[in-house]
Amino acid sequence: MSMALMAIEADRQAIIELPIDVRMLASLRDTARLLSTHYSTQIEGNRLTRSQVQDALGGKSFPGRERDETEVRHYYAALERVEKLASDSGPLAEADVQCLHGLVLNGRARATAYRDGQNVIRDSRTNKIVYLPPEAGDVPRLMKALVAWIGARITKGDLPVPLVAGLAHYEFATIHPYYDGNGRTARLLTTLILQRHGYGLNGIYSLEEYYARRLGDYYRALDVGPSHNYYEGRAEADVTPFIAHFLAGMADSFSKVRAKAAQAADRGATDRAPLLRRLDPKQRRLLELFSRQAIVTAAEIAEQLAFSPRTVRPLCTKWIEDGFLVVHDPSRRNRLYALAPKWEAAVGR
């Protein structure tokens, strides 16, 4: 595991130092979102191919695969929510996790209630019980403790962030707080922890591909302990096999991103790194919008950031004061915004 952690840190630092171009960054992020959506839903049995997932996200329908279409659109929306939550400061809230599940299951960013009964995980071929999660009455307490543990570890800094993310993934899957959508939500929770605490790489990697391509290993890594029953050993099981698998997946994903980013840099990406590192994640996301058009409205900014117009207005005011944005044509009642001149170079237009 120590070797995997060192590889992750080496690739992370190398990616940070590579030449960064806004268009390249947007392209890599779009690809990573597509891969995450395809592979995370494929793990749960979704039948759409990668190209069909892309088409479904673009609005195309596949008769007889309506459930699969809905599933990938919901997951993609949840990934967008993760990016928004990752840019927030402060500790993870339990409602954040519940909202991610709401998007996964219903396509709505509303906190969902935990299961009110027992669920059982069975082998689809033999119908034998593979895992018996904790009783419904214990789920709220266990979830509250999990979220508090994540916050405490991040605040104290006594564990590397990748270990916190991997342990959170395992524990969420072990609690299995919902009847459906647990695996997808666990993977989203992992991504949120990593992105919020310095391992986001601007959202340009996908852990889900590693799991999907080694699905047997993924399930075997989750299946630890002397019993299939949560109360008969699973809760205190040695989770080393899963953490080793998780870190190997992170190392593999980071290595692939490093290679792709290096290739893009070699093709002539202009080094905007020193400039872009002065911006926060929301501002970097906004540069993608400005790379497509020079003048934008508040509504377009809100759509790009997945924020409400009410949230965007004070942000724009602050960015004007900070010299990031300027008002285009102040005589207009409805404001239009442009980048301040010193940031125009960052979009390479």
pLDDT digits (tens, 9 = 90+) for 136-152: 999 999 999 999 999 99
**What does the pLDDT read at residue 272?**
56
Largest CA distance in the chain: 72
Return the minimum-mean-pLDDT range out of 9-23, 138-152, 154-168, 280-294. 9-23
In the chain, CATH 1.10.10.10 sits at 278-347
The rounded distance, in Å, linking the Cα atoms of 75 and 60 is 16
More confident site: 188 or 204: 188
Predicted confidence (pLDDT) at residue 294 exceeds the cutoff of 60: yes
Q: Give the mean model confidence (pLDDT) for residues 286-308.
A: 86
**Residue ranges, CATH 1.10.3290.10, the chain:** 2-265
pLDDT at 184 over 60: yes
pLDDT of 333 above 90: no
The yes-or-no verdict on residue 270 having pLDDT over 60 is no
- CATH node for 2-265: 1.10.3290.10
pLDDT of 268 > 70? The answer is no
Residue 182 pLDDT exceeds 90: yes
Judge whether 41 and 72 are in contact, CB under 8 Å: yes
Q: How confident is the model at residue 38 (pLDDT cuts 50, 70, 90)?
A: very high
- Give the Cβ contact number of residue 179 at 10 Å: 14
Residue 193: pLDDT over 80: yes
* 5-33 mean pLDDT: 80
Query: Does position 31 have pLDDT exceeding 90, yes or no?
Result: no
Instruction: Look at residue 114 and tell me whether its pLDDT is greater than 90.
Output: yes
pLDDT digits (tens, 9 = 90+) for 57-88: 988 999 999 999 999 999 999 998 998 898 88
Q: What is the arithmetic mean of pLDDT over 124-147?
A: 92
- CATH class of residue range 278-347: mainly alpha
What pLDDT score does 19 carry? 65
Band (311; pLDDT cuts 50, 70, 90): confident
The span from the CA of 88 to the CA of 6, in Å, is 27
Least confident of 166-170, 202-206, 271-275: 271-275
Mean pLDDT computed over 123-134: 85
pTM of the model: 0.80
Query: Per-residue pLDDT averaged across 116-143, rounded?
Result: 91
